[in-house]
Amino acid sequence: MEKILDRFLRYVAVDTQSNEESESQPSAAKEWDLLKMLKAELEAMGVETTLDEYGYVMGRIPGNIGKEVPAIGFIAHVDTAPDASGADIKPQIIENYDGGSIDLKGVPGLQLKPSEFPEMLHYKGQTLITTDGTTLLGADDKAGVAEIMHAVQYIVEHPEFKHGPIRIGFTPDEEIGRGVVKFDVKRFDATYAYTMDGGEVGELEFENFNAASAKIHIQGRNVHPGYAKGKMKNAILIGQELGAMLPSLARPEHTEGYEGFFHLISFKGTVEEADVAYIIRDHDRAKFEARKEMMAKAAAAINEKYGSGTAVAEIRDQYYNMREQVEPHYHIIDKAVKAMEMAGVKPKIQPIRGGTDGANLSFKGLPCPNIFAGGLNFHGKMEFVPLQSMEKASEVILNILKLFAE
C-alpha cells in the first residue's frame, strides 16, 4: 500500500484554492486537477466512480457480507481556503518532534511556537507536517481526502475485510460555503455519512454554527478636503462607525464554545465608497436571527444619519446547525465513538466553531456528523498535521464500517 504520508504530499502539491468571487462550480478551474486525479485513482483501484459537471466525485463499493446493512458514506472536500495561498506548497516533515519551536524556513525568523500554540506539545515524539511559512498546508481538507483514499486502498486490497455498501464523496468549494449546493444525495445513495473534516485527533461533531454572510456597500461623498465642511461623507469612516455599533466582545478573538460572533473579513474602500464584509455565526438559532437583525439595524442607523442609500446591506444565510437533523439518528454518533475507542483514540464530542459540508447534507436528508482529519491551525501559515492523527482517522473509517457490518 502507498503510505498515507506520500498520498497526502501528492494531494497538497495540487493548488485547489477556491474563489468566492467566481460564480462557476467548481469556483476555480484548478480544482478539477485534483478531482480528476481522485477519480482516476479510485478507478485504478477498481472502484466504480463518477465525476459530474459540478465537480462531485462519487465512488461506490458494494458490500461483501451477504446481508442488508446501511450504505455508509465518507466525504471530504478538495479545495483550500482563500485566506492564504495554496500554490507551490513546500511541506516540512518534522520527525520525532521534540517539543520545541519549529522554524518555518520559507520566512526567515518565522516559527511555529508551543508558547503560542500549546497543543503542539500533545504530539511530542510524533511526525509533524508543517508549512514553510509562505502558504497554508492544505490539511483542511486534503488530510481527510488522504485518509478516505487510504482506507479505500486497504479495503480493495483486503477482500477478507467485511463491510456493507460504501460510498465515497469528494466535493469542491466547501471553503466558500458552496460545497454541496448541487450535491445529489439521492444519487450518492448513502443512508448515513461522515465528513472527515474536523480538527485534531478525537474530535467528533454533530453541532455547528448557523451561518450568514453580510456584505455592506457604503456610498460616501468625496469633496476637496479644503472645502469639505458639511459636505464630505467619508465612506471609510462610515464603515468604521457601522462596525462600532456591533458589540466589541462578540468577535472571534473573544469567543469560544457556544458563543457566536460577528467577524469582519474584508474592508475595501476610498472616501467615495467602501465595501465591508462580515460573517455572522451562532449555534443558537434565535440568537443567530437576532445577530442578523442587529446588523440590519446598524445599516439602517447609518442611513438615518447620513441619508437613504448610504449603506446597502445584503445578508444571506449560508448553512444551519445540523444537530436537529443528526440527533434523531444518535446511533451514528455512538458508532463513531466506539470506532475511535477501538483505535485507541479518546473521543471529544464538541460543537464545531465553523461549518462543514455535513451540515448542508444533513438538511438534504443525509445525516452526516463530522470526524477529525487531524490538522490544526487551519486557513493559515501556521497550519500543521501530525502524521499519526491521519493514520488514526483512516483506522476510524475502517472501524465504523466494521461496526455497521456487525
C-alpha separations of 44 from 41, 310, 363 in Å: 5, 58, 33
Is the domain of 252 the same as that of 349? no
The pLDDT value given to residue 354: 81
Q: How far apart are CA 229 and CA 225, in angstroms?
A: 8
Residue with grid cell 511556537, as numbered in its chain: 113
Is the domain of 16 the same as that of 154? yes
> If you write DSSP's letter for every residue of 246-300 in order, what string do you get?
S-TT-SGGG--TT--EEEEEEEEE-SSEEEEEEEEEESSHHHHHHHHHHHHHHHH
Query: Strand 48-51's sheet: what is its strand order?
Result: 48-51, 57-61, 166-171, 72-77, 192-198, 370-372, 203-205, 348-349
How do residues 273-313 score in pLDDT, each as one tens digit?
999 999 999 999 999 999 999 999 999 999 999 999 999 99
CATH number of the domain within which 246 lies: 3.30.70.360
With beta carbons less than 8 A apart as the criterion, state whether 71 and 165 touch.
Answer: yes
How do residues 14-50 score in pLDDT, each as one tens digit?
999 999 899 999 999 999 999 999 999 999 999 999 9
∠ CA 405-372-12, rounded to 5°: 110
pTM as predicted: 0.87
∠ CA 357-288-180, rounded to 5°: 15
Q: How far apart are CA 206 and CA 283, in angstroms?
A: 11
Is the domain of 287 the same as that of 346? no
> Could you give the dihedral angle defined by the CA atoms of residues 356, 362, 364 and 365, in that order, rounded to the nearest 10 degrees?
160
Is the domain of 87 the same as that of 199? yes
Parent domain of 232: 210-319
CATH number of the domain within which 168 lies: 3.40.630.10
Is the domain of 278 the same as that of 347? no
Is the domain of 161 the same as that of 234? no
Mean pLDDT of the chain: 96
Is the domain of 223 the same as that of 370? no
DSSP H stretches of helix in 108-178? 139-157
Give me the active site residues, please: 79, 174
Is the domain of 76 the same as that of 181? yes
| Number of domains the chain contains | 2
Per-residue confidence band for 2, with pLDDT thresholds at 50, 70 and 90: confident
| Domain end (from 319, 354, 369) | 319
Mean pLDDT score, 326-340 = 97
Mean pLDDT score, 243-254 = 97
Is the domain of 47 the same as that of 196? yes
Is the domain of 311 the same as that of 239? yes
Q: How far apart are CA 186 and CA 213, in angstroms?
A: 29
C-alpha separations of 333 from 101, 203, 274, 319, 323 in Å: 36, 12, 46, 21, 11
Is the domain of 194 the same as that of 117? yes
| Domain end (from 287, 319, 351) | 319
Backbone angles phi, psi at 402, to 5 degrees: -60, -45
Residue with grid cell 478636503, as numbered in its chain: 225
Q: How far apart are CA 155 and CA 163, in angstroms?
A: 9
Is the domain of 50 the same as that of 169? yes
| Domain end (from 275, 301, 319) | 319
